[in-house]
Chain A
Amino acid sequence: MTDIVLSFHVHQPFRLNSFSRLEEHPKKLFERYFNEELNKKYFEAAAKKCYLPSNSILLDALEKYENFKVNFSITGTFIEQAKKYSPETLESFRRLVETGKVEIFGETYYHSLASLFKKKNEFKRQVEKHKEAIYRELGTKPKIFRNTELIYSNTIGKEIEREGFEGAMIEGSEKILGWRSPNYIYKAKDANLKLIARNYKLSDDVGFRFSNRGWKEWPLTADKYAAWLSATPGDIIVLYVDYETFGEHNWKESGILEFLKYLPKEVLKYKNLSFANATEVTKKEVKDELDVPFNLSWADLERDESAWIGNKMQKSCFNELENIAEKAEGEELENIAGLLQSSDHLYYLCTKGQGDGDVHSYFNPYKQNNAYENYVNYMNILQDFKHIIKTKGGKA
């Protein structure tokens, strides 16, 4: 029996204001740095195109098929925005969790790279804050951890264990698996932690290639995909994609929502397939130990941290974020410092050309689609905030 660990990533960052040093800005810090109008616009559009219709499809399937289960990672910033801009979206997630067949992963509240800071207290703070938010809003306690963009290493594994998690989602990359298949349970090196590897090929068939008419398998249908899953050997298959794949990155007209709707039925036609929550599959036999001496992620061709801290501009901002996180004290300053840490802000500074660059610019929400412009704006904000922390003497 092969268990399908169907997982979706749900996140919205707080987008930044255009922040010139030559102009006056609001005194209230949140309004000073974050663009409410843009956040509202993006959230409402995504709710209409993706969150609401997809949640409704999943809820129907969860009620209809006993053996259908799904998993979500939902960031703290997403929950904050949902409360503000679309309470019905948050309510629809609550209803999913109430079925008892939906598992929510733990992660950093702000979708940050705090796991890469030298000092670990900021990472801990954000993981705790996320746990609290998930329990408060969705009434469940995460047991499996997924770090931002699946960034993982032996070192990070130890921190995840320390936070009380039983397992972690990682990228099923050949870089660490070598000849081994992603479709089994592994354990972490130096930590009491199960590792659940994403099958990136099968995930990307849906996440990246679904609408690609140049792809030889286009159009991808639920029955064809289920046949592939059935023919894939292993104990598990982790399918993990951005939730916005459904209705946002691929428009409704592509047939993506129909794909989602028929997938449970088509999969359950096969006797050798079933769906599972991530915690359940950690009970399966451990095949091997995985040594991850470097930072592994699910992004770009490199599958490392270079999409966020690859170039000098990104490194300089990352250093400022680390510096700011250490100095910010009190609820307001700590929260602003966290919101500025969302990895999206660093992602928009990426200057990688060709293939990957296209993906970067697709996600860029700002008018000017230019890493240098984004850097000027982001760094202006970080410098301004640093100054404010200094003048406030680290007190809120």
Chain B
Amino acid sequence: MIGWEFPPFKIGGLGTHCYELTRALAKKGVKIDFFMPKTKYKIDAPWMRIVAVSPEVVLKMKGAVYKRKKSRNIFDAIEEYNENAALVLEEMNKKENYSLIHCHDWITARAGMRAKYLTSLPLVVTTHSTEFDRSANLNPSSWIWGIEKAVFDQSKRIIAVSNFVKKTIMEKYSIDGKKIAVIPNAVSKNNFKYKATKEQFGWDNKKIVLFVGRLEIQKGPDFFLRAAKKVIEKRKDILFVISGEGSMLPQLINLSIDLGIQNNVRFLGVLPQEKLSQLYSVADVYVLPSVREPFGITVLEAMIAGTPVITSKTAGAPEIATHCLRVDFWDTNEMANKILAVVEYGALRKEMSKNAYQNVENITWDKVAEKTIGIYNEVRK
């Protein structure tokens, strides 16, 4: 399997996905060599062999950067990583006799395609998001589109994390739907068992509205703040808590000041797993206002932590996790209306929390692995 980020070296859902998927696959007897860039972090994944390929990459606020030659941009690092991963994979295959190659998203696609060419092994690609999602459909890069199109064409099967993604692949890349299997993400209950009280966060007597995600245009954090402004006009005892990092942070801080709500907004940065779980547990409502959200794994995280969820209508996760409220990401009036409702109507909170938990409890990585193995068996034939 060719990966890119992997916990604790991670910025988004791709890292979590690879971690949980490989663990569940290994439990079912799949032997995995996991290719990823060199990193200074210690990777703890005893269920498989990690193949660290140069260059070394470090995690920074604005995403991953190239370590050795800081003047060069991230795209050079990705290119070098892909080229090296393919060559190492070809070499290792001589001894290991791999059954197939599984890569993820455009960022590892060229390694997948090159290795497929060198080894003649079948290729599977999992699509977590497309360029149309990451760019919020504003200015998609035709260069990345080209890579995505190529890997879709060359893969024997494509795994999409939602019907939303499948539809994008069919419509924007002219791929036959029969080639695409939808296997939605899951959530690991154990990661979200840590609870806390509002007092522990110093938020006594406050209602907590939570945002978790990269602070990028795709995730719509600015809509979150604009809705916050409208909620705060109705009642003052509400804190809007933002956990995540990204290029929009300075802009968001300024926006909260311009809106005059800075006293009701908290920026917490990226939190370790235990702290994140506690944060979900104290939140009265979780809001995901993404402009385009191919899946939105945080929806499942909030639900398994028992927190009611409001998501934008353009999100993939509610395809399987239906017990949530939905709004148009641009409709900050409606977002505010629903935030107020969840905060004030206890019966709504209790009912959403209970039903969503029961729903999401059954969405496990074990089942994702099972379906993935089904795809593996198909392409090996």
Contact = CB atoms under 8 A, between A and B. Distances in A.
Instruction: Note whether A and B form a binding pair.
Output: yes
Interface of A: 20-23, 311-313, 315-316, 351, 368, 370-373, 375-376, 379-380
A22 B230 contact: yes
Interface string B304-348: 000000000000000000111110000001101110110001111
A246 B234 CA distance: 48
Contact of B348 (A22, A23, A375): A375
B230 A372 contact: no
Interface string B334-374: 10111011000111101110010000000000000000000
A368 B326 contact: yes
Contacts of B324: 372
Given A312-B347, A316-B345, A379-B345, A373 B333 contact: no
B333 A370 contact: no
A313 B323 CA distance: 14
Given A22-B336, A376-B325, 18 more contacts: A20-B337, A22-B337, A313-B345, A313-B348, A316-B346, A351-B323, A351-B355, A368-B326, A370-B322, A370-B326, A375-B341, A375-B347, A376-B337, A376-B338, A376-B345, A379-B341, A379-B345, A379-B348
B348 A372 contact: yes
A110 B340 CA distance: 30
Contacts of A372: 323-325, 348, 351-352
Nearest to A20: B337
Nearest to A380: B341
A135 B309 CA distance: 50
For B230, B234, B337, B350, which residue has the most chain A Cβ atoms within 10 angstroms?
Answer: B337
Contact of B333 (A23, A312, A313, A371): A23
A248 to B, nearest CB: 27
A371 B356 CA distance: 13
Closest 10 CB pairs of A and B: A316-B347, A376-B341, A312-B347, A20-B337, A22-B333, A313-B347, A313-B351, A312-B351, A22-B337, A372-B325
Contacts of A368: 326
A311 B350 CA distance: 10
Main secondary structure of the interface of A (DSSP, over half): helix
Contact of A21 (B323, B340, B346, B347): B340
Contacts of A316: 345-347
A376 B338 CA distance: 7
Contacts of A380: 337, 341
Interface residues of B, number: 22
A217 to B, nearest CB: 34
Nearest to B230: A22
A211 B341 CA distance: 40
16 contacts: A20-B337, A21-B340, A21-B341, A22-B230, A23-B333, A311-B351, A312-B347, A313-B345, A313-B347, A313-B351, A316-B346, A371-B351, A375-B341, A375-B351, A376-B345, A380-B337
For B234, B325, B333, B345, which residue has the most chain A Cβ atoms within 10 angstroms?
Answer: B345
Contacts of A351: 323, 351, 355
A315 B333 CA distance: 27
A372 B322 CA distance: 10
Given A21-B234, A379-B345, A373 B337 contact: no
For A20, A22, A372, which residue has the most chain B Cβ atoms within 10 angstroms?
Answer: A372
Interface in B99-118: none
B377 to A, nearest CB: 31
B325 to A, nearest CB: 5
B81 to A, nearest CB: 43
A373 B325 contact: yes
B333 to A, nearest CB: 4
Nearest to A372: B325
A368 B322 CA distance: 12
B334 A315 contact: no
Contacts of B234: 21
B345 A20 contact: no
Interface in B212-268: 230, 234
A372 B351 CA distance: 9
A371 B355 CA distance: 11
A21 to B, nearest CB: 5
Contacts of B323: 351, 372
A9 B87 CA distance: 74
A370 B310 CA distance: 12
Nearest to B358: A353
B334 A20 contact: yes
Contacts of B338: 376
A198 B323 CA distance: 35
B228 to A, nearest CB: 13
Contacts of B333: 20, 22-23
A368 B328 CA distance: 12
Nearest to B324: A372
A316 B323 CA distance: 19
B285 to A, nearest CB: 12
A244 B368 CA distance: 44
Given A22-B230, A372-B325, A373-B326, A312 B350 contact: yes
Contacts of A375: 341, 345, 347-348, 351
